[in-house]
Structure 1
Amino acid sequence: MKIRLMLVPLLAMSLLAASCKQPTDVTLPVEAPKATETSYSQALKKFGRLTREFRVGTLRVQTTQVQDETGSSQATGAEIPFDITKMIMSSINGIGGSIIFIPYDPVYIKNQAALNFTTLEGKTKPDIVLNGGITEFDRSIESGSSGIDFGGTFGAGKNSPSVDMGKQDRDSVSSITIDLNITDIETMAMVPRVQAVNTMKVFKAASDLDLGFSIFGASFGYKSSIKKIQGRHAAVRVLVELSVLETLGKYLNLPYWKCVDQGAKADPVVIENIRDQYIEANQQSRVRMIQNLLYVYGFRSLRASGNLDAETVTGIKAVSAAYGFPAATLDENFYEQLFLNAPVLGAKSKVQGSAAAIAPGMTLDGATPGGASVVGRAPSQSAQPGLPLNVEIKTDKAVYKQGEKIRITVKGNKDFYGKIVYLTADGQTVQLLPNGMRSLDFFKGGRTYTVPEDSDGFSLDVAPPYGAERIMLYASESPLPAVKTRSLGEGAGGMLNLEGGQQALTKLSRGIKVSQAAPSKPVATESREAAPPMKPQQAPGASASVLERAIAITTKAK
């Protein structure tokens, strides 16, 4: 009995000692900063590479302020972000390749100009603007719970130990939707069907585990609450990156879905666009579109001339045999397969060897090089058939100093063929476009072209002699007659000198009407290379008006 009485105070002292607060040494986990990446961060970088593989010209993108349009960000205590503009900016700027982001901050630029830190001239102008917002946020659209309780007493008597246990699981699903659209900066009209409306479901799960013990009537408890929540802000970033990838991919008509997964399902909007583009193109333009894709298949020496020459025919035959789709009729179905099977982003081409390794002289079934017919539906008329051709040519300023670079922009209201010629102060006549580095002579209506483009292998640097000079543009809805030229030599960036000087220019308009226009006022503008042309071709020298445009500039020493 004495032993039992002695155990009672010893047990009480033990419980008292256990209840005393001991100093706690807390060790916090240390984690180094790391880059924030989502499921689509790498896909955006691959998209930048894709623009290079398809030789897309520079596309300059801007965004307006994109916010939460539901009001939930304020009503729920910022469960979702109110402004996602910065996320969109980071997504676009992280693409690289041919995509350049142009920030929208007119107040900052104006203040910098007021401080004479910069001027308002020469600023890069965007081609398109992204706009949209968070349009849906539905909380707990699905929810459920389950639980289990357990309790019991061990032994008999008033002070017998007992244990109670309760476990409760709950989960809920929320939905977030983002809309993004593209507006053309020149027309301020939204581009039809180029949009992204994506929804993500965010799952929230909670598990509460309650344990209660009773020893001799004195209870202590341990409670653990574990939550695994896919952060809503992180979910919004994923949606932003996916939506940026989709909208720009649709705008450029690129197989952007391959940036996510090589086996992903193709976007029907892009497929419809490239089919319509091919259908509405004339024969020469269709061949040019095929040649551009053959370049992606590995035929690097093939130039987009628009002529169904022997090299193009061998390339078509080799790709058709390697990938197993027919090429006897080069219609829109053939072009779709050529587009869908293009080996991009490191995918190895199934074509063995290069075009040079394929036996020359191979022809398509029933066709001969240079004379094959590219079958398809009848080409459509020009976008503005009732209006005469009107073309604008501009420079970023009127006076240039030694060492400065000249940038020229060209835009027509309808498809046209054109040549750009530079008349120097000492009387030389230099053909700027087309040249040995850039063979472009067809311009798509409604698109703005820059000469030189960022991706070109030449630049226009001001050098002596100085004085009054002119930049001439000759434009027509028919291909312009060829003019005899000679190279200016190495280091001239592929520039060509017109033999015969200014008198040779009369050949461009011989036997046809010439419309003279006053020199255009220089205006700062930037743009990108257009998509493959779709203007029905007329024979060179056919009766059609030739539009002549001129810009007067002045060059001088520093």
Structure 2
Amino acid sequence: MLGVVITVASWLGGCATPLDARKDREFQSNAHVHNRPTHRPVRSFTSFSDSLTCMDHMLRAADMPTTLITSKYIPDYSGRVSVATKDMIITALSQMSRVSNAFRYVDFEVELTRQDTVQNLTTILLNNNQLRLQRPALYLSGAIAFVDQNVINNRWDMGTSASRLETGYSANRNATLLGLEMHLGDFRTRTFIPGLDSSNEIIIANGGQGLDLAGRISDYGVHFNVGRDYTQGVGIATRTLVELAMIELLGKWARLPYWQCLTLDQAHPDFQRQLRDWYNAGNASQHRSLVQRSLASQGYLPADVPLRESDSQELRLAVARFQADHGMVVTGRVDFTTYERALRQFVEIDEEGRFTRIGWETGGRATGWPPQTQHLAIDLQVENPVIDRTRFESGTPIYLSSSLSRSAHLYCFMSNGHGQVIRLLPNAAMPHALLSANQTVRIPDWMSPNPGFLLDAGQPGTETVGCFASTRDMAGLLPGLTEPPALSLLGGVQGIDGVQQAFTQALGEGEFASQRVQWQVLPAGPAMQAAPAPAAPSVAPPAAPSSPPASGGAR
């Protein structure tokens, strides 16, 4: 017995000596792989993410001019919610303005305690009167008002005991309430607008189950424990409240029927859970089949493409474009997020309040698919922040935007009062004609510091911009319209009617979509008459931001 003790002591003493790290070289080499995340990052979606998109299109349809808005710091008086509420507000406003450009957030707050490049430069330029901050019209104020923890707390425990066996079972459930108060104020008077407030609460729940077994066989004992728990996150709950508050406040302020965006089936809390159940019931091949049919119905794939049993380059590119258009992390793979976003238009709530699928079965074999292909339509708008967008003085900058209801090739042209035509799109800044569904193109891109060209009202008369879209690439079919450089005069074409006639001859009637807008150009005021506009649209680099454009047409 003494020999055994001496042997064990000697072994422990040997373990106390320093190890040779070189012997672990192969083990250490795995660190380069094991330090990486197991899953790809995903975009943060809530029940109201689609409601924000709905509000964006509603604001666009109402022709809401761009409004500058800011917010105060959103405190948490409970001290239990450590989230960046202000940044969630900025994200929600951005999602509501992607198409409509309804709101621009002014980063008006300067924090003296922060030491970063933007804050330091802002302080220096403000003190030297070299920075001009635009005054917002509205501001948001609010706070996380309360967190009532464990409002409901149920616990249940049971156990048995015997000479050689003991068992135990426990279960618990509890719920916490989180409240957010938000208000909308007039920045000029620093007064809150009566009735423009939002006060909402959300439940954060968690629960768990546990099982214990303990037994003894002769002199030996065995103990076994298993449990499962869930906890709903406070971060996503706060984001949900913020998005709901933005829809309510700004919908009331704009006097729009915002409640239509809150009654979407996708806003139901159980929507994603039900989609997850259907996703788990299928396999990868079934997921690809369903998503491919959905993408074909939305114009991301030709309707006659055969179903793929495995990934293909064409399908991956279509999935990647769909993911980019819908704000997801682009992977080109059909994961659950892509599956849920692609099939949500084919799910509705039945009369009994349950989610039901439209045109597809659990086995993945679609009935009646592909669904009715979405009609190709163009949404072409004048975006100048004025009430009357049909009359402009000569030399006035013109801002346009265009989007498509489904993926197609887009071509835009401009005609002056004499019928001379130039091509606006595609151009050097946007060389590709293929445009994704619901992707907005700004003409010119007034959000970019280097838009490539500027568009001004020319000589008095009528100017017209027409856009044409087709599922076919027109580069080889209409070389006279597509091959000359953009923003240069096109020979042999008279006005937008001539462009439409060329499309009709190449494709046939009804095989393409078209839309046009026009405005009357009025004589310039005294300040602009010093530099007369040219008779035809001209091309020149964009003017410096500090000086107004001096010539008409496209520059």
Q: Same fold (TM over 0.5)?
A: no
TM-score (norm 2): 0.41
Given the two structures, how large is their TM-score scaled by the length of structure 1?
Answer: 0.41
**Of the two, which has the highest radius of gyration?**
1
